[in-house]
């Protein structure tokens, strides 16, 4: 595989490697939002949200447009929504495996 693609993937996943950034992307999957809306939905202070948005913006994961005094954020690529969905499915699969393992352990004498 091309080294540039591998580096892109590594950088991309580093940009996603924070729970608040994932939550921001989940919210933006539902539609564009400004910082105040994100703060309200996330229940977090503005500086924390702005800091995480800066990381996502610098890695080209989100897109921002200034409208008056507000900055509106959206997903740069709609496939990010699909990626989040696939990640949830992988989590569910791991959970099913863990539950099966626990059930097997409980059956042991």
The number of distinct structural domains making up the chain is: 1
Residue 82: pLDDT over 70: yes
Percent of the chain with pLDDT over 90: 76
Which residue range is the domain that position 42 belongs to? Answer: 3-107
62 or 109: which leads in pLDDT: 62
Average model confidence (pLDDT) across the chain:
91
Residue 105: pLDDT over 90: no
- pLDDT at residue 1, as a whole number: 63
Q: The domain spanning residue 31 has which CATH number?
A: 1.10.10.10
DSSP 63-107: EEEEETTEEEEEESSTHHHHHHHHHHHHHHHHHHHHHHHHHHHHH
pLDDT in tens, 42-80: 998 879 999 999 999 999 999 999 999 999 999 999 999
Sign, CA dihedral 57-42-88-104, equals positive
Q: Could you give the C-alpha distances from 74 to 29, 38, 66, 78, 95, in angstroms and in order?
A: 8, 11, 12, 9, 31
- pLDDT at residue 93, as a whole number: 84
């Amino acid at each position: 595989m091309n080294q540039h693609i591998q580096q892109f993937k590594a950088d991309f996943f580093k940009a996603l490697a924070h729970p608040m950034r994932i939550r921001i992307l989940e919210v933006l999957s539902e539609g564009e939002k400004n910082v105040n809306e994100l703060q309200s939905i996330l229940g977090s202070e503005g500086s924390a949200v702005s800091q995480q948005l800066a990381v996502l913006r610098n890695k080209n994961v989100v897109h921002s447009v200034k409208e008056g005094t507000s900055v509106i954020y959206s997903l740069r690529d709609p496939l990010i929504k699909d990626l989040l969905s696939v990640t949830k499915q992988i989590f569910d699969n791991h959970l099913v495996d863990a539950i099966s393992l626990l059930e097997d352990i409980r059956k042991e004498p």
